[in-house]
Amino acid sequence: MKQHILIVGAGFGGVWSALSAARLLDQHGRDDVAISVLAPQAQLRIRPRFYEPDVHQMQAPLAELFNAVGVAFIQGAAEQIDVNGKRVSYVDAQGNRSDISYDRLVMAAGSGVWRPDIDGLNTHAFDVDQIESAARLEQHLKSLASQPESTARNTVVVAGGGFTGIETATEMPGRLRAILGADANVRVIIVDRGARIGAALGEGISPTIIEASEALGVQWRVNASVAGVDAGGVTLVDGERIEANTVVWTVGVRASSLTAQVPGERDGQGRLHVDRNLKVKGQEHVYATGDVAYAATDDEGNFAVMSCQHAIVLGRHSGNNVAADLLGVEPTPYRQPKYVTCLDLGAWGAVYTEGWDRQVKLLRKEAKDLKTQINTTWIYPPAADRTSALAAADPLIPIA
Protein backbone atom coordinates (compact mmCIF):
# COMPACT_ATOMS: atom_id res chain seq x y z
CA MET A 1 0.00 0.00 0.00
CA LYS A 2 1.31 3.41 -0.95
CA GLN A 3 2.24 5.96 1.66
CA HIS A 4 0.24 9.15 1.38
CA ILE A 5 1.11 12.86 1.51
CA LEU A 6 -2.02 14.95 1.97
CA ILE A 7 -1.89 18.69 1.31
CA VAL A 8 -4.80 20.76 2.61
CA GLY A 9 -5.20 23.83 0.42
CA ALA A 10 -4.55 24.81 -3.20
CA GLY A 11 -3.18 28.29 -2.71
CA PHE A 12 0.41 29.24 -3.45
CA GLY A 13 1.80 27.18 -0.56
CA GLY A 14 -0.30 24.14 -1.39
CA VAL A 15 0.35 24.11 -5.14
CA TRP A 16 4.09 24.49 -4.77
CA SER A 17 4.17 21.89 -1.98
CA ALA A 18 2.53 19.39 -4.32
CA LEU A 19 4.93 20.15 -7.18
CA SER A 20 8.01 20.02 -4.97
CA ALA A 21 7.01 16.73 -3.34
CA ALA A 22 6.40 15.25 -6.79
CA ARG A 23 9.79 16.52 -7.90
CA LEU A 24 11.70 14.77 -5.10
CA LEU A 25 9.79 11.52 -5.58
CA ASP A 26 10.58 11.68 -9.30
CA GLN A 27 14.28 12.28 -8.61
CA HIS A 28 14.40 9.15 -6.46
CA GLY A 29 12.35 7.07 -8.89
CA ARG A 30 9.71 6.35 -6.26
CA ASP A 31 6.16 5.45 -7.18
CA ASP A 32 5.17 4.09 -3.77
CA VAL A 33 4.13 7.48 -2.34
CA ALA A 34 0.89 9.18 -3.38
CA ILE A 35 0.31 12.94 -3.22
CA SER A 36 -3.17 14.43 -2.86
CA VAL A 37 -4.37 18.02 -2.67
CA LEU A 38 -7.65 18.66 -0.86
CA ALA A 39 -9.31 21.98 -1.73
CA PRO A 40 -12.71 23.38 -2.73
CA GLN A 41 -11.60 24.10 -6.32
CA ALA A 42 -8.85 22.90 -8.63
CA GLN A 43 -7.78 26.49 -9.12
CA LEU A 44 -4.96 28.67 -7.93
CA ARG A 45 -6.77 31.86 -7.12
CA ILE A 46 -4.45 34.82 -7.71
CA ARG A 47 -5.32 36.62 -4.50
CA PRO A 48 -2.68 39.38 -4.84
CA ARG A 49 -4.72 40.69 -7.81
CA PHE A 50 -8.16 40.83 -6.20
CA TYR A 51 -7.97 44.63 -5.88
CA GLU A 52 -8.05 44.86 -9.69
CA PRO A 53 -11.14 44.87 -11.96
CA ASP A 54 -12.26 41.74 -13.84
CA VAL A 55 -11.53 39.69 -10.76
CA HIS A 56 -13.32 36.62 -12.15
CA GLN A 57 -10.28 36.12 -14.41
CA MET A 58 -7.83 36.04 -11.51
CA GLN A 59 -7.45 32.28 -11.27
CA ALA A 60 -5.40 29.56 -12.92
CA PRO A 61 -6.75 26.02 -13.51
CA LEU A 62 -4.79 23.24 -11.84
CA ALA A 63 -6.31 19.96 -13.05
CA GLU A 64 -4.01 19.48 -16.04
CA LEU A 65 -0.96 20.54 -14.07
CA PHE A 66 -1.70 18.09 -11.27
CA ASN A 67 -2.34 15.31 -13.79
CA ALA A 68 0.97 16.05 -15.51
CA VAL A 69 2.98 15.57 -12.32
CA GLY A 70 0.92 12.73 -10.83
CA VAL A 71 -0.86 14.64 -8.05
CA ALA A 72 -4.42 13.62 -7.20
CA PHE A 73 -6.96 16.37 -6.58
CA ILE A 74 -9.75 15.86 -4.05
CA GLN A 75 -12.54 18.42 -4.25
CA GLY A 76 -13.80 19.31 -0.83
CA ALA A 77 -13.49 21.56 2.19
CA ALA A 78 -11.53 20.24 5.16
CA GLU A 79 -13.46 20.43 8.43
CA GLN A 80 -11.64 18.32 11.01
CA ILE A 81 -7.97 17.50 11.47
CA ASP A 82 -7.24 14.43 13.60
CA VAL A 83 -3.48 14.43 14.12
CA ASN A 84 -3.60 11.41 16.42
CA GLY A 85 -5.59 9.29 13.99
CA LYS A 86 -3.80 10.88 10.99
CA ARG A 87 -7.08 11.60 9.25
CA VAL A 88 -8.82 14.63 7.75
CA SER A 89 -12.60 14.91 7.49
CA TYR A 90 -14.01 16.99 4.66
CA VAL A 91 -17.24 17.90 2.89
CA ASP A 92 -17.30 17.36 -0.87
CA ALA A 93 -19.02 19.48 -3.52
CA GLN A 94 -22.28 17.56 -3.08
CA GLY A 95 -22.31 18.09 0.67
CA ASN A 96 -21.24 14.55 1.54
CA ARG A 97 -18.84 13.98 4.41
CA SER A 98 -15.78 11.79 3.97
CA ASP A 99 -12.50 10.98 5.70
CA ILE A 100 -9.07 10.59 4.18
CA SER A 101 -6.01 9.20 5.93
CA TYR A 102 -2.43 10.32 5.53
CA ASP A 103 1.10 9.41 6.48
CA ARG A 104 2.25 13.02 6.29
CA LEU A 105 0.10 16.14 6.31
CA VAL A 106 0.94 19.57 4.90
CA MET A 107 -1.25 22.33 6.26
CA ALA A 108 -1.57 24.91 3.49
CA ALA A 109 -5.06 26.18 4.26
CA GLY A 110 -4.23 29.86 3.83
CA SER A 111 -5.67 32.85 5.60
CA GLY A 112 -8.68 35.13 5.63
CA VAL A 113 -9.47 38.73 6.42
CA TRP A 114 -10.24 39.35 10.08
CA ARG A 115 -13.63 40.91 10.79
CA PRO A 116 -13.93 42.12 14.38
CA ASP A 117 -17.20 42.73 16.18
CA ILE A 118 -17.96 46.19 14.78
CA ASP A 119 -21.55 47.26 14.38
CA GLY A 120 -22.73 46.70 10.79
CA LEU A 121 -19.37 45.49 9.51
CA ASN A 122 -20.48 42.04 8.37
CA THR A 123 -23.67 43.39 6.83
CA HIS A 124 -22.44 46.44 4.96
CA ALA A 125 -18.68 46.24 4.33
CA PHE A 126 -17.09 44.63 1.28
CA ASP A 127 -13.64 43.07 1.06
CA VAL A 128 -11.16 41.80 -1.55
CA ASP A 129 -10.09 38.75 0.43
CA GLN A 130 -11.61 35.99 -1.68
CA ILE A 131 -12.57 35.91 -5.34
CA GLU A 132 -16.28 35.71 -4.48
CA SER A 133 -16.20 38.70 -2.15
CA ALA A 134 -14.08 40.71 -4.58
CA ALA A 135 -16.59 39.89 -7.33
CA ARG A 136 -19.42 41.16 -5.10
CA LEU A 137 -17.54 44.42 -4.68
CA GLU A 138 -17.05 44.66 -8.43
CA GLN A 139 -20.76 44.15 -9.11
CA HIS A 140 -21.60 46.74 -6.49
CA LEU A 141 -19.25 49.28 -8.04
CA LYS A 142 -20.83 48.74 -11.44
CA SER A 143 -24.28 49.23 -9.93
CA LEU A 144 -23.30 52.72 -8.74
CA ALA A 145 -23.79 53.99 -12.29
CA SER A 146 -27.54 53.41 -11.94
CA GLN A 147 -27.78 55.42 -8.73
CA PRO A 148 -28.40 59.18 -8.65
CA GLU A 149 -25.27 61.22 -8.21
CA SER A 150 -24.44 62.08 -4.63
CA THR A 151 -21.42 62.43 -2.40
CA ALA A 152 -22.14 59.03 -0.87
CA ARG A 153 -22.41 57.34 -4.26
CA ASN A 154 -19.08 58.79 -5.37
CA THR A 155 -17.23 57.97 -2.14
CA VAL A 156 -15.35 54.80 -1.24
CA VAL A 157 -13.95 54.31 2.25
CA VAL A 158 -11.14 51.78 2.59
CA ALA A 159 -10.59 50.65 6.17
CA GLY A 160 -6.93 49.79 6.66
CA GLY A 161 -3.76 51.41 5.40
CA GLY A 162 -1.65 48.30 4.95
CA PHE A 163 -0.54 46.70 1.69
CA THR A 164 -4.00 45.54 0.58
CA GLY A 165 -5.71 48.72 1.68
CA ILE A 166 -3.29 50.96 -0.20
CA GLU A 167 -3.45 48.93 -3.41
CA THR A 168 -7.25 48.80 -3.24
CA ALA A 169 -7.57 52.52 -2.56
CA THR A 170 -5.08 53.76 -5.15
CA GLU A 171 -6.72 51.61 -7.84
CA MET A 172 -10.18 52.86 -6.90
CA PRO A 173 -10.21 56.35 -8.53
CA GLY A 174 -9.56 54.77 -11.92
CA ARG A 175 -12.14 52.03 -11.33
CA LEU A 176 -14.78 54.53 -10.26
CA ARG A 177 -14.22 56.88 -13.19
CA ALA A 178 -14.38 53.96 -15.62
CA ILE A 179 -17.87 53.31 -14.25
CA LEU A 180 -19.17 56.80 -13.41
CA GLY A 181 -17.44 58.81 -16.12
CA ALA A 182 -14.05 60.40 -16.58
CA ASP A 183 -15.22 63.67 -15.02
CA ALA A 184 -16.92 62.14 -11.99
CA ASN A 185 -16.04 63.85 -8.73
CA VAL A 186 -14.94 60.70 -6.92
CA ARG A 187 -13.59 60.54 -3.39
CA VAL A 188 -11.51 57.73 -1.89
CA ILE A 189 -10.61 57.82 1.80
CA ILE A 190 -8.30 55.45 3.71
CA VAL A 191 -9.05 55.10 7.41
CA ASP A 192 -5.99 53.85 9.29
CA ARG A 193 -5.02 53.45 12.91
CA GLY A 194 -1.41 54.39 12.16
CA ALA A 195 0.00 57.69 13.32
CA ARG A 196 1.03 58.73 9.80
CA ILE A 197 0.32 57.91 6.17
CA GLY A 198 1.81 54.57 5.18
CA ALA A 199 2.92 53.84 8.75
CA ALA A 200 2.28 50.10 8.34
CA LEU A 201 4.92 49.89 5.61
CA GLY A 202 7.64 51.93 7.31
CA GLU A 203 9.37 55.26 6.96
CA GLY A 204 11.34 54.37 3.83
CA ILE A 205 8.28 53.93 1.64
CA SER A 206 5.96 56.43 3.31
CA PRO A 207 6.97 59.53 1.27
CA THR A 208 6.20 57.69 -1.96
CA ILE A 209 2.77 56.63 -0.67
CA ILE A 210 2.06 60.24 0.31
CA GLU A 211 3.10 61.53 -3.13
CA ALA A 212 1.00 58.96 -4.97
CA SER A 213 -2.02 59.52 -2.70
CA GLU A 214 -1.90 63.27 -3.29
CA ALA A 215 -1.57 62.84 -7.06
CA LEU A 216 -4.51 60.45 -7.16
CA GLY A 217 -6.67 62.44 -4.75
CA VAL A 218 -6.74 59.62 -2.18
CA GLN A 219 -7.36 61.06 1.28
CA TRP A 220 -6.22 59.59 4.59
CA ARG A 221 -7.67 59.64 8.08
CA VAL A 222 -4.80 58.59 10.34
CA ASN A 223 -5.03 57.80 14.04
CA ALA A 224 -8.56 56.72 13.22
CA SER A 225 -10.64 53.58 13.60
CA VAL A 226 -14.06 52.52 12.38
CA ALA A 227 -16.73 52.39 15.09
CA GLY A 228 -19.66 51.40 12.88
CA VAL A 229 -20.71 50.75 9.29
CA ASP A 230 -24.15 51.18 7.75
CA ALA A 231 -25.68 51.35 4.28
CA GLY A 232 -24.83 55.03 4.00
CA GLY A 233 -21.29 55.18 5.32
CA VAL A 234 -19.04 54.82 8.33
CA THR A 235 -18.76 56.40 11.74
CA LEU A 236 -15.29 56.72 13.21
CA VAL A 237 -14.37 56.27 16.86
CA ASP A 238 -13.84 60.03 17.21
CA GLY A 239 -17.38 60.65 15.98
CA GLU A 240 -16.60 61.73 12.42
CA ARG A 241 -19.20 60.59 9.92
CA ILE A 242 -18.19 59.79 6.32
CA GLU A 243 -21.06 59.38 3.86
CA ALA A 244 -20.19 56.52 1.51
CA ASN A 245 -22.17 53.86 -0.29
CA THR A 246 -19.04 51.70 -0.52
CA VAL A 247 -16.90 50.57 2.41
CA VAL A 248 -14.06 48.09 1.88
CA TRP A 249 -12.57 46.31 4.91
CA THR A 250 -8.89 45.32 4.64
CA VAL A 251 -7.76 45.37 8.27
CA GLY A 252 -5.72 42.35 9.25
CA VAL A 253 -5.67 38.67 8.27
CA ARG A 254 -5.70 35.50 10.31
CA ALA A 255 -4.49 32.01 9.48
CA SER A 256 -7.16 29.43 8.67
CA SER A 257 -9.13 28.32 11.72
CA LEU A 258 -8.11 24.75 10.86
CA THR A 259 -4.75 25.46 12.46
CA ALA A 260 -6.47 25.51 15.86
CA GLN A 261 -7.00 21.75 15.46
CA VAL A 262 -3.26 21.07 15.27
CA PRO A 263 -1.64 21.07 18.72
CA GLY A 264 1.23 23.51 18.75
CA GLU A 265 2.35 27.05 19.44
CA ARG A 266 0.86 29.87 17.33
CA ASP A 267 1.66 33.50 16.72
CA GLY A 268 -0.81 36.37 17.05
CA GLN A 269 -2.19 35.67 13.58
CA GLY A 270 -2.84 32.01 14.32
CA ARG A 271 0.13 30.68 12.36
CA LEU A 272 1.75 27.47 13.55
CA HIS A 273 5.35 27.65 14.72
CA VAL A 274 7.52 25.46 12.51
CA ASP A 275 11.14 24.37 12.56
CA ARG A 276 13.66 25.05 9.80
CA ASN A 277 12.27 22.16 7.76
CA LEU A 278 8.71 23.54 8.17
CA LYS A 279 7.56 20.68 10.39
CA VAL A 280 5.12 21.91 13.03
CA LYS A 281 6.96 22.04 16.33
CA GLY A 282 5.79 19.21 18.57
CA GLN A 283 4.31 17.21 15.67
CA GLU A 284 5.96 14.24 13.97
CA HIS A 285 3.79 14.01 10.87
CA VAL A 286 2.48 17.53 10.21
CA TYR A 287 4.08 20.33 8.21
CA ALA A 288 2.79 23.86 7.72
CA THR A 289 3.41 26.22 4.84
CA GLY A 290 2.28 29.49 3.30
CA ASP A 291 0.05 31.71 5.40
CA VAL A 292 -0.39 29.14 8.18
CA ALA A 293 3.35 28.84 8.93
CA TYR A 294 5.26 31.07 11.34
CA ALA A 295 8.64 30.47 9.74
CA ALA A 296 11.98 32.19 10.24
CA THR A 297 13.36 33.46 6.94
CA ASP A 298 16.90 34.05 8.21
CA ASP A 299 19.02 34.23 11.34
CA GLU A 300 18.32 37.94 11.88
CA GLY A 301 14.93 37.57 13.55
CA ASN A 302 12.77 38.02 10.44
CA PHE A 303 9.76 35.82 9.74
CA ALA A 304 7.79 35.13 6.59
CA VAL A 305 4.84 37.41 5.97
CA MET A 306 1.47 36.40 4.56
CA SER A 307 2.27 36.98 0.89
CA CYS A 308 2.78 34.94 -2.27
CA GLN A 309 6.45 36.01 -2.21
CA HIS A 310 6.98 33.84 0.84
CA ALA A 311 4.25 31.25 0.21
CA ILE A 312 5.78 30.09 -3.09
CA VAL A 313 9.21 29.49 -1.56
CA LEU A 314 7.72 28.02 1.61
CA GLY A 315 5.74 25.62 -0.58
CA ARG A 316 8.82 24.50 -2.49
CA HIS A 317 10.51 23.69 0.82
CA SER A 318 7.57 22.09 2.63
CA GLY A 319 6.80 19.77 -0.29
CA ASN A 320 10.41 18.78 -0.68
CA ASN A 321 10.83 18.18 3.04
CA VAL A 322 7.64 16.23 3.61
CA ALA A 323 8.67 13.89 0.79
CA ALA A 324 12.22 13.72 2.15
CA ASP A 325 10.77 12.70 5.51
CA LEU A 326 9.03 9.69 3.98
CA LEU A 327 11.99 8.80 1.77
CA GLY A 328 14.52 9.04 4.59
CA VAL A 329 16.71 11.56 2.77
CA GLU A 330 18.11 14.90 3.93
CA PRO A 331 15.65 17.81 3.96
CA THR A 332 16.42 21.29 2.66
CA PRO A 333 16.08 23.83 5.47
CA TYR A 334 13.96 26.85 4.58
CA ARG A 335 15.81 30.12 4.11
CA GLN A 336 14.66 33.24 2.30
CA PRO A 337 16.89 36.11 3.41
CA LYS A 338 16.01 38.47 0.57
CA TYR A 339 12.84 40.45 1.13
CA VAL A 340 11.28 42.82 -1.41
CA THR A 341 8.02 44.65 -1.85
CA CYS A 342 6.33 45.92 -4.99
CA LEU A 343 3.37 48.10 -4.09
CA ASP A 344 0.87 49.03 -6.80
CA LEU A 345 -0.17 52.68 -6.62
CA GLY A 346 -2.83 52.81 -9.30
CA ALA A 347 -2.47 55.25 -12.17
CA TRP A 348 0.48 56.92 -10.43
CA GLY A 349 2.62 53.81 -10.91
CA ALA A 350 4.21 51.64 -8.23
CA VAL A 351 7.13 51.46 -5.83
CA TYR A 352 9.64 48.62 -5.52
CA THR A 353 11.75 48.23 -2.39
CA GLU A 354 14.41 45.86 -1.10
CA GLY A 355 15.19 44.82 2.44
CA TRP A 356 13.10 44.65 5.58
CA ASP A 357 13.65 48.39 5.97
CA ARG A 358 12.12 48.86 2.49
CA GLN A 359 14.78 50.83 0.66
CA VAL A 360 13.21 52.31 -2.46
CA LYS A 361 14.84 51.04 -5.67
CA LEU A 362 12.29 51.70 -8.42
CA LEU A 363 9.44 54.21 -8.80
CA ARG A 364 6.48 54.98 -11.02
CA LYS A 365 6.62 53.36 -14.49
CA GLU A 366 9.70 51.22 -13.87
CA ALA A 367 8.15 49.80 -10.72
CA LYS A 368 4.75 49.50 -12.39
CA ASP A 369 6.22 47.45 -15.23
CA LEU A 370 7.82 45.14 -12.67
CA LYS A 371 4.56 44.88 -10.73
CA THR A 372 2.70 43.98 -13.92
CA GLN A 373 5.24 41.26 -14.69
CA ILE A 374 4.93 39.88 -11.15
CA ASN A 375 1.14 39.93 -11.19
CA THR A 376 0.63 38.51 -14.67
CA THR A 377 3.53 36.07 -15.03
CA TRP A 378 5.78 35.33 -12.07
CA ILE A 379 3.15 34.30 -9.52
CA TYR A 380 1.20 32.04 -11.88
CA PRO A 381 1.80 28.28 -11.78
CA PRO A 382 3.92 26.62 -14.47
CA ALA A 383 2.46 25.08 -17.61
CA ALA A 384 1.12 21.54 -17.45
CA ASP A 385 4.38 20.03 -18.65
CA ARG A 386 5.89 17.47 -16.29
CA THR A 387 9.55 18.25 -16.88
CA SER A 388 9.32 22.02 -16.65
CA ALA A 389 6.82 21.97 -13.77
CA LEU A 390 9.00 19.73 -11.63
CA ALA A 391 12.09 21.78 -12.45
CA ALA A 392 10.29 24.95 -11.33
CA ALA A 393 9.62 23.39 -7.91
CA ASP A 394 13.26 23.10 -6.88
CA PRO A 395 13.56 24.67 -3.40
CA LEU A 396 17.09 25.82 -4.22
CA ILE A 397 16.07 28.00 -7.18
CA PRO A 398 17.80 31.36 -6.59
CA ILE A 399 15.40 34.10 -5.55
CA ALA A 400 15.93 37.20 -7.68
The percent of residues in the chain predicted with pLDDT above 70, rounded, is: 100
Mean pLDDT of all residues belonging to the chain: 97
pLDDT for residue 60: 98
Backbone torsions φ then ψ of 249, nearest 5 degrees: -100, 125
| 8 Å CB contact between 144 and 180 | yes
Closest CA to 168 of 56, 66, 248: 248
Q: Which of 154, 176, 249, 170 is nearest to 214 (CA)?
A: 170
Residue type (1 letter), 385: D
pLDDT tens digits, 95-138? 999 999 999 999 999 999 999 999 999 999 999 999 999 999 99
Distance, in Å, from the CA atom of 16 to the CA atom of 99, rounded to the nearest integer, reads 24
Which pLDDT tens digit goes with each residue over 159-213?
Answer: 999 999 999 999 999 999 999 999 999 999 999 999 999 999 999 999 999 999 9
Distances (CA, A) of 28 to 12, 88, 291, 330: 25, 28, 29, 12
pLDDT for 341 beyond 60: yes
pLDDT surpassing 60 at residue 327: yes
Task: Give the C-alpha separation, 265 to 273, whole Å.
Answer: 6
pLDDT band at 399 (very low <50, low <70, confident <90, very high): confident
pLDDT over threshold 60, residue 51: yes
Q: What percent of the chain has pLDDT over 90?
A: 98
Which pLDDT value is given to residue 398?
79
Burial of 195 per CB tally in 10 Å (0-12, 13-18, 19+): exposed
Residues forming a β-bridge with 39 = 75
The pairing of beta strand 97-101 with beta strand 87-91:
antiparallel
How confident is the model at residue 368, as a pLDDT?
98
* Burial class, 135, CB count within 10 angstroms (exposed 0-12 / middle 13-18 / buried 19+): middle
Residue 400: band (very low, low, confident or very high) from pLDDT cuts 50, 70, 90: low
Q: Is the dihedral of CA 156, 119, 148, 53 positive or negative?
A: positive
| CB-based contact 237:225 (threshold 8 Å) | yes
- Position 1 scores a pLDDT of 80
Least confident of 79-83, 157-161, 199-203, 242-246: 199-203
CA distance 320 to 25: 9
- Could you give the CA distance from residue 357 to residue 43 in angstroms, rounded to a whole number? 34
DSSP class per residue in 224-237: --EEEEETTEEEET
